[in-house]
């Protein structure tokens, strides 16, 4: 754990979906894997994701399995979707000249699948029981981000110098003995091997070898390209029971899988007055893992026109495997190395083999309360309130001797408990269904990061056609949120900052066949 923790902190790795500046990759990752948007079939998604008090939809197996008790027939359903996201932003710093910064991406996906087996019981008050199997996509990590600009204030080299200062060159060596190798397998080590930074003792042996300098003093043109790929999805096995058409109870077990990849390439270019033409710094992080959770729920119908529901999902316990690698390449104008009487033109170094690590993560529990009002044969209006404490995420080691006290402390200091709200309506006319909804996902940070509120709004709509032998539902989901990201930080107020807006559209079609 110590090695990968050092890499993420020293490299300043921050995950796409969160506000940057904390320079603690594991703290950001905890929130990335905890924060999810409303999920479900096209019907549920078109209604803003509000579903805690509803029934008769395979999506309820994950959100509130009590709703499965309202099925009176078996069913199979499949959803197809297309997800697209557009990002526009401004690369800022004091007097920083920004260029056009935008990126877009579109992906086909399979957002959900459900198989429902319903059987009548007729055992006194126990009327019906339903078993469900469903697969749901919880998170989509597919994003592109690119920005560039002339930065007259700082360079990534300033970050490397700040990280290396106070440490002798032996800190770049493999950790073969105590007190050695603190910066081994980091981007700062790659910068040292590429001669972007050098100890002052290379100029004069009487100078300190714990202070570093660079011969590159020009104003850089900076460019960063960042891609993230992957998703989180859950297989759910659930059961719901109907007692007297008044009380519905249910429970489920969910198995979550996670695939996440982040690839970043940061480039600085200099003019002909400098000994360095350019350097490229690249990072790649791969995370795979699986987790398990359980959900219990209840729905009560005091009168035919009203249903109230409540569900509780336990924390999800994950086990993750991480693989990290980084590299820097640099092109020089016949640069004379400060020590060794050597002239270089091209250097390239890479962390090899890749650094791997394993650990456990427990993401927060979720409490949902919902209400649904039925308008007779004209439709339904429903709303949910969800409570999630993002500060409750916790890391645990797999290996004896590791600990996550620092990361867990920072999670508790950085995040907070929030209330998310979802609401929607369905209007019926014969076999047609018209739906609309909205959802608000609150900012999980205790304090505003970089003057950016990361709350997300979702606006939804859709249409459906239902018969006794099949149904087809279509939904359109529009998300919008503001974000901020610092490619690196130095102990100055003008560290570069990228402020951007992220807008995504998700079209879903669900086809279901009762049997």
| CA distances to 144, 179, 198 from 225, in Å | 8, 35, 27
Query: Distance between CA atoms of 362 and 76, rounded to whole angstroms?
Result: 32
pLDDT digits (tens, 9 = 90+) for 410-462: 999 999 999 999 999 999 999 999 999 999 999 999 988 777 888 999 999 99
pLDDT of 20: 31
CA angle, residues 127, 300, 112, in degrees to nearest 5: 80
Closest CA to 35 of 107, 111, 141, 113: 141
Query: Distance between CA atoms of 316 and 452, rounded to whole angstroms?
Result: 28
CA angle, residues 401, 403, 407, in degrees to nearest 5: 160
- Burial (0-12, 13-18, 19+ Cβ within 10 Å), 283: buried
- Burial (0-12, 13-18, 19+ Cβ within 10 Å), 205: exposed
Query: Distance between CA atoms of 469 and 480, rounded to whole angstroms?
Result: 37
Spatial neighbors of 75 by CB under 8 A, at least 6 apart, are 58, 114, 115, 116, 118, 512, 513, 514, 515
Closest CA to 498 of 227, 148, 153: 148
Query: Distance between CA atoms of 351 and 187, rounded to whole angstroms?
Result: 9
User: Do 283 and 264 meet the contact criterion of CB atoms below 8 Å apart?
Assistant: yes
Domain boundaries, the chain: 2-155+216-514
The two tokens of residue 110 are: 């399979």
Q: What separation, in Å, do the N-terminal and C-terminal C-alpha atoms of the chain show? A: 51
User: Do 104 and 88 meet the contact criterion of CB atoms below 8 Å apart?
Assistant: no
User: Do 242 and 250 meet the contact criterion of CB atoms below 8 Å apart?
Assistant: no
Residue 8 clears pLDDT 60, i.e. is over it:
no
Strand pairing report for 126-140 and 343-350: unpaired
3-state secondary structure of 406: helix
**Sign of the CA dihedral running 164, 169, 173, 179:** negative
**For the chain, how many residues are written?**
515
Residue 72 clears pLDDT 70, i.e. is over it:
yes
pLDDT digits (tens, 9 = 90+) for 360-388: 999 999 999 999 999 988 999 999 999 99
Mean pLDDT over each residue of the chain, to the nearest integer = 89
Q: Is this model's pTM higher than 0.75 or not?
A: yes
Query: Distance between CA atoms of 220 and 228, rounded to whole angstroms?
Result: 26
Residue 15 clears pLDDT 60, i.e. is over it:
no
CATH superfamily of 2-155+216-514: Outer membrane protein transport protein (OMPP1/FadL/TodX) (2.40.160.60)
């Amino acid at each position: 754990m110590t090695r990968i923790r050092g890499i993420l902190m020293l490299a300043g790795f921050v995950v796409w979906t969160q506000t940057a500046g904390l320079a603690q990759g594991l703290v950001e990752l905890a929130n990335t894997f905890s924060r999810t948007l409303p999920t479900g079939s096209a019907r549920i998604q078109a209604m803003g994701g509000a579903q805690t008090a509803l029934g008769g939809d395979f999506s309820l197996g994950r959100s509130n399995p009590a709703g499965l008790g309202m099925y009176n027939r078996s069913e199979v359903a499949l959803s197809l979707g297309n997800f697209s996201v557009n990002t526009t932003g401004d690369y800022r710093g004091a007097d920083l000249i920004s260029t056009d910064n935008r990126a877009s991406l579109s992906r086909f996906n399979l957002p959900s699948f459900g198989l429902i087996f319903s059987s009548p019981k007729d055992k006194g008050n126990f009327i019906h029981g339903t078993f469900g199997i469903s697969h749901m996509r919880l998170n989509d990590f597919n994003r592109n981000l690119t920005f560039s600009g002339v930065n007259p204030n700082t360079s990534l080299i300033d970050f490397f110098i700040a990280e290396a200062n106070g440490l002798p060159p032996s800190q770049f060596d493999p950790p073969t003995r105590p007190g050695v190798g603190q910066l081994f397998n980091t981007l700062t080590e790659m910068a040292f091997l590429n001669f972007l930074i050098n100890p002052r003792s290379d100029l004069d042996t009487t100078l300190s070898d714990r202070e570093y300098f660079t011969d590159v003093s020009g104003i850089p043109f900076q460019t960063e390209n960042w891609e993230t790929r992957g998703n989180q999805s859950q297989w759910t096995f659930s059961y719901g029971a109907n007692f007297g058409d008044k009380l519905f109870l249910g429970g489920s077990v969910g198995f979550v899988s996670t695939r996440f990849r982040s690839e970043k390439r940061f480039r600085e270019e200099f003019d002909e007055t400098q000994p360095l033409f350019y350097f490229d710094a690249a990072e790649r992080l791969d995370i795979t893992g699986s987790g398990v959770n359980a959900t219990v729920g209840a729905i009560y119908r005091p009168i035919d026109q009203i249903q109230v529901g409540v569900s509780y999902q336990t924390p999800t316990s994950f086990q993750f495997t991480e693989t990290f690698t980084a590299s820097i390449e640099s092109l020089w104008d016949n640069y004379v190395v400060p020590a060794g009487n050597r002239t270089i033109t091209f250097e390239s170094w890479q962390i090899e083999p890749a650094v791997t690590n394993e650990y456990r993560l427990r993401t927060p529990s979720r409490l949902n309360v919902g209400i649904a009002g039925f308008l007779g044969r004209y439709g339904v209006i429903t709303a949910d309130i969800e409570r999630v404490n993002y500060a409750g995420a916790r890391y645990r080691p797999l290996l004896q001797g590791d600990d996550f006290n620092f990361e867990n402390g920072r999670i508790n200091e950085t995040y907070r408990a929030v209330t998310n709200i979802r609401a929607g309506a369905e209007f019926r006319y014969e076999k047609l269904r018209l739906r609309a909804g909205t959802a608000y996902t609150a900012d999980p940070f205790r304090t505003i990061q970089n003057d950016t509120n990361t709350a997300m709004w979702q606006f939804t709509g859709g249409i459906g056609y239902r018969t006794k032998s099949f149904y087809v539902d279509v939904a359109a989901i529009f998300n919008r949120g503001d974000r901020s990201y610092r490619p690196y930080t130095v102990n100055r107020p003008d560290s570069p900052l990228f402020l951007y807006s992220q807008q995504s559209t998700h079209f879903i079609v669900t086809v279901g066949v009762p049997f």
